[in-house]
Structure 1
């Protein structure tokens, strides 16, 4: 790994390609949660890798690489959210009668791809807050500061994201 990083610092294409291949799947698993589609996730990931290669000098080789990369990927996804924020329209999902039972059974039977597909159905605002809170472990204050929204908006978006995900699951699986 150190050799690959050193090669990336020297702008060696071969090393950059190796690093990209090593962490492509890991990066996609992150970007898919923030993106509307696989194509958008790949675009965000490619942008993130460009930032990695541009800023590889800032990486401290005495620290683990993966968390450094993860932070760049998440920040790039957030930047993409900010770019598209003006285009976004938040829509409320119609109220659906809640069907009880079988939830645990259904959730345990879902594949990773099915879960990602459902998360991608959320509006970008809901999806971003959901990912930052549930997956990345951000606090609402951190989310509010990062996305330049009110703390109450962060909490509201998370609640609506959870409600919408529940409706999506019920519509598709129950």
Structure 2
């Protein structure tokens, strides 16, 4: 995915050209945004193949719905939202139901600090996050990366706010263990 973007074309001209069906400008739109959106897809996908599928599906939606962009916010933000929603739809289709949590159980779930993430390279973080179950990974990304509230996540995924909180806490717990194992394995390889 080599960026071959021509940033001399304005966003408004790019949008108008894509809506008009100009293949050259559609290709320009792809090259301008594909690297960043691929990173979004990787965070939600279980593997590279799924991320590539999400990228393709997301751009198809972008091209089909570009006429809906109202320039009320940033164009990149609008595109990012399409990719996040595409990833959520993908999760809903492929995933089993998230485990629901009672209010009593919710009070017993501890929030885990995962500050060890700061010591890892981005590619290592993505790899570790991809190892999470689809439910944990989706809630983690929506809350930690995208900044949605538990209420918003619950509405998006059709779960309760408490279930969102518990999925995040469990995701952080699993991540903490995976990171500790990764750092331990890395440390061992350096001492050999």
TM-score (norm 2): 0.78
SS of 2:16's partner is helix
Aligned counterpart for 1:85 among listed residues 54, 70, 95: 95
Which secondary structure does the structure 2 equivalent of 1:122 belong to? coil
- Give deviations 1:86-131, integer Å, cap 9, x for gaps: 4x798xxxxxxxxxxxx86x64442110000000000000000000
- For 1:9-88, what aligned pairs fall within 5 Å after superposition? 9-61=19-71, 63-86=73-96
Structure 1: gaps (5+ residues): 91-102
> 1:45: how far off?
1.3
Moved over 3 A (4+): 106-109
Say whether the 8 Å CA contact 1:129–1:143 is kept in structure 2: yes
- Judged with a 3 Å threshold, the aligned counterparts in structure 2 of structure 1 residues 24 and 129 are, in CA distance, closer, same or farther, namely same
Q: How many residues align?
A: 160
Measured in 2, the distance between the counterparts of 1:20 and 1:70 equals: 13
Residues 1:121 and 2:131 aligned together: yes
Any residues of structure 2 matched to 1:109-148 within 5 Å, and which?
109-148=119-158
- The offset of 1:61, in angstroms, is 3.7
Q: 1:150 aligns with which of 160, 167, 192?
A: 160
Aligned CA-pair RMSD: 1.8
Largest Rg, 1 or 2: 2
